[in-house]
């Protein structure tokens, strides 16, 4: 699911920054997650390191912090 298809509202983007590239790891729908900042930090801490910009696709987290894709 691309960022343009997330619908209205605020979305936090978890981004991986490498030496030669950068990519989106996850999208957190802020209005559907009361602790959106905490969830985004957890994803960054737990998932971004092993995320491959070349191989993996970003996940979208909707209500209750559950993946919707």
How far is it, in rounded angstroms, from Cα 42 to Cα 64? 14
pLDDT of residue 1: 40
Domain segments of the chain: what residues? 3-62
Q: What is the 3-state secondary structure (H, E, C) of 30-59?
A: HHHCCCHHHHHHHHHHHCCCCCCCCCCCCE
pTM: 0.84
How far is it, in rounded angstroms, from Cα 57 to Cα 16? 12
Q: pLDDT (tens digit, 0 to 9) for every residue of the chain, 69 residues total? A: 444 455 668 999 999 998 999 999 999 999 999 999 999 999 999 999 999 999 999 999 999 999 998
pLDDT of residue 4: 46
- Interval 36-48: pLDDT, tens: 999 999 999 999 9
Q: Which residues of 24-33 are buried (b: 16+ CB within 10 A; e: fewer)?
A: bbbbbbbebb
Q: What is the DSSP letter of 67?
A: B
């Amino acid at each position: 699911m691309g960022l343009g298809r997330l619908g209205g509202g605020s979305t936090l983007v978890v981004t991986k920054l490498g030496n030669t590239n950068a990519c989106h790891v996850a999208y957190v729908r802020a209005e559907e997650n009361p602790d959106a900042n905490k969830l985004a930090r957890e994803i960054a801490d737990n998932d971004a390191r092993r995320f491959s910009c070349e191989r993996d696709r970003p996940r979208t987290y909707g209500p209750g912090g559950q993946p919707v894709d």
